[in-house]
């Protein structure tokens, strides 16, 4: 008799964070009160690390996100199918994707969390108020380039450019795929837009290192003392430090260091944890990219940045959201349908004193 070979799903089903279990038969990681189940502070850090790892692997999402995805999944496929035959459905689907992408960027993007948003009206140009004159302003000139100049005035006018994503669905993919094709294209567009913005912040932050605050190289494990040394470089200029952005591997320094665990007030609410917030140390909220998919992470291993408050750090503008336009075989040269989704963007990091970088060698 032939041996039966069990067939497993190629893709782990996504589930709500409140239903997540580390193994079959184990208790849920999230309690009924929405907080992570843990027996001690050290155990809370270990459980938080497991939750972040599951999120980065795409196994779990926030409950509200999953409910919305399940509600729209069938309609997404119907809209996508209709888009091949109806130009109006085609355009509407692009507009819905643009709206969802804009909401996601506002909720999850680091740049939008750390910088001040400026509203730019139609017919006007971006003008950002500087915290002080005669400082080096670092600004973006394209989705992948930054530049710097001495700002002699209280107002700075950076160039405006477009960040573009091109989600495209080949006809064979919609005919043959059992997965939610639109969800996959949404992730691709999210990477192009949200992560492009965050990489601009990363490049600008690196550009101001050693201008006013020298780079701190930490040769051993991160400790409260070495962390405070980097924090002080921003505080000494009279600036508050509400945020620290950390690479995902530094979470292991916290888990393996009792001194760090005791110094940090950890986050227990899973909703906050799944936006990257780890806890508070010396008044600064620690934010990590550990919850992100690997292709959405922007920091290199061992890096962390201390940021001043948004009013003193810098600003951005996006003219109120994303726009979309349909494209097809005449542009892509492949049978199928897709969209060009773009935003008009400007960004300036206005104060080199407002950033300090540390790196664990």
Nearest to 230 by CA among 298, 302, 301, 291: 302
pLDDT tens readout for residues 130-148: 777 667 888 888 888 888 8
pLDDT for 180-233, tens place per residue?
A: 677 677 777 877 888 899 999 999 999 999 999 999 999 888 899 999 999 999
Q: What is the pTM of this model?
A: 0.84
Tell me what percent of the residues of the chain surpass a pLDDT of 70: 87
pLDDT at 105 over 90: no
CATH number of the domain located at residue range(s) 14-361 in this protein: 3.90.1690
pLDDT at 134: 64
State whether residue 291 is helix, strand or coil. coil
Give the pLDDT confidence score for residue 69 in this predicted structure: 57
Q: Reply yes or no on whether the pLDDT at 51 is more than 60.
A: yes
Task: Quote the pLDDT of residue 76.
Answer: 65
Question: Is the model more confident about 232 or about 38?
Answer: 232
Q: What pLDDT is recorded for position 1?
A: 43
Give the angle 18-23-26 at the CA atoms, nearest 5°: 70
Identify whether the C-beta of residue 304 lies closer than 8 Å to the C-beta of residue 357: yes
Q: What is the DSSP string of 57-114?
A: TTSEE-HHHHHHHHHHHHHHHHHHHHHTT-HHHHHHHHHHHHHHHHHHHHHH-HHHHH
Choice between 337 and 226, residue whose per-residue pLDDT is larger:
226
């Amino acid at each position: 008799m032939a041996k039966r070979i069990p067939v497993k799903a190629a893709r782990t089903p996504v589930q709500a964070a409140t239903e997540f279990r580390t193994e079959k038969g184990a208790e849920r990681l999230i309690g009924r009160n929405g907080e992570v189940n843990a027996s001690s502070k050290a155990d809370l850090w270990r459980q938080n690390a497991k939750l972040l790892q599951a999120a980065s692997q795409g196994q779990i999402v926030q409950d509200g996100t999953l409910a919305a995805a399940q509600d729209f999944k069938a309609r997404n496929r119907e809209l996508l199918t209709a888009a091949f035959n109806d130009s109006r459905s085609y355009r509407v689907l692009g507009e819905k994707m643009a709206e969802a992408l804009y909401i996601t960027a506002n909720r999850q993007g680091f740049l939008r969390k750390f910088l001040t948003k400026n509203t730019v009206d139609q017919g006007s140009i971006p003008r950002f108020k500087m915290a002080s004159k005669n400082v080096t302003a670092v600004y973006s000139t394209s989705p992948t380039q930054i530049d710097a100049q001495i700002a002699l005035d209280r107002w700075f006018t950076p160039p405006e450019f477009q960040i573009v994503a091109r989600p495209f669905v080949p006809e064979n993919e919609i005919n043959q795929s059992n997965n939610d094709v639109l969800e996959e294209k949404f992730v691709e567009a999210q990477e192009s837009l949200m992560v492009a913005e965050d990489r601009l912040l990363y490049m600008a932050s690196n550009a101001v290192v050693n201008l006013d605050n020298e780079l701190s190289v930490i040769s051993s494990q991160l400790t409260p003392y070495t962390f405070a040394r980097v924090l002080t470089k921003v505080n000494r200029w009279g600036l508050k430090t509400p945020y620290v952005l950390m690479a995902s591997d530094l979470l292991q320094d916290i888990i393996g260091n009792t001194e760090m665990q005791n110094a940090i007030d950890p986050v227990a609410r899973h909703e906050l944890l799944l936006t990257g917030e780890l806890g508070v140390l010396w008044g600064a909220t620690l934010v990590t990219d550990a919850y992100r998919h690997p292709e959405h992470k922007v920091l290199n291993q061992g890096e962390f940045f201390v940021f001043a408050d948004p009013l003193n750090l810098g600003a951005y503008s996006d003219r109120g959201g994303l726009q979309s336009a349909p494209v097809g075989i005449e542009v892509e040269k492949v049978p199928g349908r897709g969209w060009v989704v773009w935003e008009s963007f400007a960004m300036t990091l206005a104060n080199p004193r407002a950033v300090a970088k540390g790196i664990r060698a």
